Structure 1
């Protein structure tokens, strides 16, 4: 068989094997094509035979690639190029044309490999569009973004970073990230600590640090940082986001000052004023005993003593509200009967001219709730309220206690026989909602304290009619408190910190939050300041600060919440063995 016939036979065989579209041209007409090309262009193979190839080329591309198409027609000096074809249905295809001169049926022909790259072009355009959008978002974002290399050199910034730090981009790029902080010391190097944590593969989230602008003015920023090259042993690029929180920090400082001032005034009220009240009560009592006074004057002394006691109770309630808001005591196992008996005794002492008649089953029940030192004042305020508003000389209050919700809660009902509370007032009796209402005579803070205390414990409080549907026959105050459940005990957790540690406070906050979520007492944590000479350990003995000792294992640095949870679960399993 002659060589040209062999090559022609080879071409016929190869046409249906390859996965690209194949077209054979002679004198610019298609003399053969494979099924891949036919399917690509939407024509039957027989319809393509003897069709000029350039008829398939888009009209604009035909003009643009005139010389290249002429070379194909002449089968001379052909070269690869990209163009666009029109399918039978009018769709536009982006294709790569790879031609070569071959022998076909004894004459020169052009074998064209046609690769459809429409999807690739569309993907590239989409990627380019997304890159442009990201670039716009990056540059227009109100959040400062910086890109660093592994040594902490700034490689890229957006406009928000320029505005936050007061430098132009050309001044920031090439500078070390550490120049944006106050001068570092041997103990305090936040920039170095952030880079160290990210180089370990960790993510730093919302770390609040003090930084410095170009004009040396200090600012506060919330820093989040992570590797931009995940999976690599050492990140080549580090992304960093900085949010300006200076105003919030200044507001917090002002709020702290106001709180300290309020605490000072509260201290004066709860100590000095109580001393004055006690002195006044002692003087009035001395007058009653030492002088033979007329009945009218004795009545006046009793009324004055009562007003002084009420002012003392209001001061005490204010103190409870402040402590619940600022520094609530630890929640511990609290016996209901102990606090209830104290409350009843204190109420009886306040009302010398009345008798408090309590019918209750609390003494019969060994009830323990999740509470604290203020529980007695809750019972006191409800009983005190009944004594104030019931005009009877003998005030009866029925107090019933029961365990509900499958043993998880304790329900306490206080039913009095006073004038009752109208339905439209029931939703408002626990709250002092306005300055005008706060100034109304006879309205104290007692029920406000009850509501705040019960809510803080995760309980509920409301008021109903003692006799349903008749508000004039007295009220029933109902408290539902969490019943005490023994907390899970695990081995102590030791938390090592220092005053100069960048991550210590946020990591300790995360640790306490995790323990709260898992129902483990915060008292499990033992905090050790390594700068304390009596600590018994130096910072050099630890891999990094903070360090958390959990049994035989130790976590160090900016520890992620998930790692803490895993180790605490391990401790729980060990404790259960």
Structure 2
């Protein structure tokens, strides 16, 4: 996608026109690609910088545009490297790619010259991709791998803590890491900082104090600056230069908790992505410590049995047997490109498979070891584990072994992505595993979603009110939320702030009548009810919709209302309706009264012609009749245009071929013997049309006859075509009249345009024809009957959508 932006940019014009065009194309995809963009001119000044790129430099885009790098406080050596890179790209006219480390960020860039044909490069387009998260994730996965390696050790609690600190240090680009474990009131702690005796005691005491706070709340503590945060002893933080901190509690088992403390000396706070990586590390540490504690418990149990054994060999054999009989089944799977295969497992894992295959289980595929139901469950957990990069835990898993079925806790932890490998751990348990840690993770997600919802709601162009099942407003961007939610409807302050009546009947609204109240109490979905509102003395109209909100079990837990102010729109609509009614009244008077007068005048003229037996005034009276006929035709066209404007036409399936025959029959008297009208290959065709469609064809034929002198030949052809996947009926009306000059063709369908003709009329015939065809979803245009020679006659082409999409002949013209 980005490469296509660059190619387009190379073809654009220079200066501001080029910059604007590049901006329009690139900004649509920048956020999706996650890339930063700089556009720098030959004068080394910034022409354009995207908002994410500006944030990288710690400034607003407006503070950067038009300035050079050295004017932004960038260190001198970096400015020199930048100028050298710009000169290379501008001189050689080619893309230069590379990497740059900015603090803890790893940036990958492409510097591409923007060219104009026949000239040197005008600017350089920098596309920068932040790879920091991938690097951090890699570090975190390495740390998790080291933590998982602790499963094979049998250290005591303090040694386990020390080994874990070594495995985790540096995973989040921190300057200091500490791990504190509280097991039944007994504390074990270690950290990665190099301190003396007094410093060791002071920092250790502070770590234990922070760990106690975190364990009490079991919520992460995200500290932006320890020297300014009341939860930290500020003297200690200032003495050791500690800035941002992340304190993450994790529950290992009942009575056993751990706290991970990440600290930085540089003022770069921990972000949500790093918190996610920390959660992964915490999960792995919890598993490792829990497994080690279980191993230690087994070891203690084995040591208790030692006093009952009579020999060291028997004791060693017994210990091995106990370790193999641990209630934790462990299996490591790796993919060979065709699917996961078991590469390592303990004896308990072997016993709890369904496989009855001879020989070792190592090398067997997963589907050979379990039931189809468990395979389906595990496959989804594996997919989710690799998608999220987190350990997936199923607390209520039902495991089917060879001899029995029992509840178990199943955990899938991704180890590596290339080749894909994961660890499967099963624990036989009859009690529900502690779910508090999961609740905390979900709570963090809910809080993030709440913040995102708040941002969306605040930026919507309509009012949003979200209430709980008790009607309490929990989210809103409307200051009148309490009144709309039915709160304090009877209080004087609420009455002054908001008075509401239903628009359809004017009945004042009560608390129970409010749309959002009906949605909460009765589960009613209110769609677009209109209300007349008086707020702060101003009369307004608002459109209100409301709907109940249900949880996953279908229980009604709240409601949402949407408010849209239609006051200005209603006022414009009322003005438009009044103007339309006045115009219709004037047109009705015109068409009714003048038509009546015209009919009376025509009657008098015909009576005069009958009395003028000598014929002395015949020509004058005939001209008067023709003028009356033109006036009647004009008024008739105006009435038809009114029907088109009002869209007051019912559409039905109409057979156009028969309609054309009627039109030809009705128009023959207009041309008399001088007009020859013929149809070539007529065929039945159907369209959805109103009766007024015939007027379009009548006006096309009348136009040809009226503007011709002497004999005229009109030819009508028709066929079917397909355009854009739709079927159309095509009609071609050709005449050998005087034709239409090229400079007149674009104007013939304009209202009151009469061209260069001497024929009487007001120029409404072709205008009405085009309006009618447009209203029916068709098209009309005019060409020369003989291409390139307007004097040989005109050719009108009409396309009308077919009523049904059936196979037919393609365009033969």
| Range of TM-score over shorter length | 0.5 to 0.7
Task: Name which of structure 1's ranges 163-172 and 192-201 shifts more when overlaid on structure 2.
Answer: 163-172
Deviation at 1:479, TM superposition (A): 1.3
1:252 to 569, 573, 576: 573
DSSP 3-state at the match of 2:577: helix
Deviation at 1:463, TM superposition (A): 1.0
Q: In the alignment, which residue of structure 1 is the partner of 2:564? A: 243
C-alpha distance in 2 between matches for 1:36 and 1:467: 91
2:779 to 460, 482, 493: 460
CA gap of 1:277–1:302, structure 2 versus 1, over 3 A, is: same
Q: In the alignment, which residue of structure 2 is the partner of 1:311? A: 631
C-alpha distance in 2 between matches for 1:183 and 1:345: 54
Q: What TM-score, normalized by structure 2, do the two folds share?
A: 0.44
2:790 to 461, 464, 471: 471
Deviation at 1:18, TM superposition (A): 10
Deviations 1:291-329 (A, max 9, x none): 04656x433333332222222222222222221231432
C-alpha distance in 1 between matches for 2:655 and 2:455: 63
DSSP 3-state at the match of 1:213: strand
Whether 1:115 and 2:432 are equivalent positions in the alignment is no
Deviations 1:465-499 (A, max 9, x none): 11111111111111122334399xxxxxxxxxxxx
| Aligned 1:9-28 pairs, distance under 5 A | 16-17=150-151, 24=158
C-alpha distance in 1 between matches for 2:645 and 2:737: 32
Higher relative contact order (CA 8 A, sep 6+): 1
Gaps of 5+ in 2: 1-147, 172-176, 178-187, 215-220, 227-236, 263-273, 280-440, 807-813
Whether 1:286 and 2:603 are equivalent positions in the alignment is no
Contact kept, 8 Å, 2:754 with 2:763, in 1: the verdict is no
Deviation at 1:195, TM superposition (A): 5.3
Whether 1:300 and 2:620 are equivalent positions in the alignment is yes
C-alpha distance in 1 between matches for 2:640 and 2:687: 19
Deviations 1:338-388 (A, max 9, x none): 433443344344567x733211147x5334332221122111101111122
DSSP 3-state at the match of 1:420: coil
| Aligned 1:60-459 pairs, distance under 5 A | 69-70=204-205, 80-81=212-213, 94-96=246-248, 113-115=258-260, 119=275, 131=450, 135=454, 138=457, 143-150=462-469, 153=471, 155=473, 158=476, 160-162=478-480, 180-182=500-502, 191=513, 196=518, 204=526, 207-214=528-535, 218-292=539-613, 297-350=617-670, 355-361=674-680, 364-392=682-710, 394-405=711-722, 408-432=727-751, 442-459=761-778
DSSP 3-state at the match of 2:480: helix
Contact kept, 8 Å, 1:162 with 1:168, in 2: the verdict is no
C-alpha distance in 1 between matches for 2:588 and 2:646: 14
Task: Name which of structure 1's ranges 213-222 and 178-187 shifts more when overlaid on structure 2.
Answer: 178-187
Deviation at 1:464, TM superposition (A): 1.1
Q: In the alignment, which residue of structure 1 is the partner of 2:89? A: none
C-alpha distance in 2 between matches for 1:436 and 1:163: 63
| Aligned 1:480-495 pairs, distance under 5 A | 480-485=799-804
Deviation at 1:255, TM superposition (A): 1.2
Deviations 1:361-417 (A, max 9, x none): 47x53343322211221111011111221122x332111233444994322211112
1:56 to 192, 208, 212: 192
Contact kept, 8 Å, 2:708 with 2:737, in 1: the verdict is yes
Task: Name which of structure 1's ranges 469-478 and 426-435 shifts more when overlaid on structure 2.
Answer: 426-435
CA gap of 1:261–1:433, structure 2 versus 1, over 3 A, is: same
Deviation at 1:245, TM superposition (A): 0.5
Deviations 1:426-458 (A, max 9, x none): 233223299999xx9854211122112112222
Q: In the alignment, which residue of structure 1 is the partner of 2:166? A: 38
Q: In the alignment, which residue of structure 1 is the partner of 2:412? A: none
Deviation at 1:129, TM superposition (A): 7.3
C-alpha distance in 1 between matches for 2:678 and 2:685: 17
Q: What TM-score, normalized by structure 1, do the two folds share?
A: 0.60
Deviations 1:199-239 (A, max 9, x none): 7777655x141232245754322223333444353422211
C-alpha distance in 1 between matches for 2:747 and 2:566: 38
Contact kept, 8 Å, 2:516 with 2:547, in 1: the verdict is no
C-alpha distance in 1 between matches for 2:250 and 2:515: 56
Gaps of 5+ in 1: 1-13, 25-30, 100-110, 488-577
C-alpha distance in 2 between matches for 1:320 and 1:334: 19
Deviations 1:171-210 (A, max 9, x none): 79998999733499899989466655677777655x1412
C-alpha distance in 1 between matches for 2:586 and 2:727: 40
CA gap of 1:374–1:22, structure 2 versus 1, over 3 A, is: farther
DSSP 3-state at the match of 1:479: strand
DSSP 3-state at the match of 2:563: strand
Contact kept, 8 Å, 2:717 with 2:733, in 1: the verdict is yes
C-alpha distance in 2 between matches for 1:435 and 1:138: 56
Deviations 1:521-563 (A, max 9, x none): xxxxxxxxxxxxxxxxxxxxxxxxxxxxxxxxxxxxxxxxxxx
Contact kept, 8 Å, 1:390 with 1:419, in 2: the verdict is yes
Contact kept, 8 Å, 2:515 with 2:546, in 1: the verdict is no
DSSP 3-state at the match of 1:80: helix
C-alpha distance in 1 between matches for 2:655 and 2:700: 18
C-alpha distance in 1 between matches for 2:523 and 2:783: 58
DSSP 3-state at the match of 1:233: coil
CA gap of 1:283–1:163, structure 2 versus 1, over 3 A, is: farther
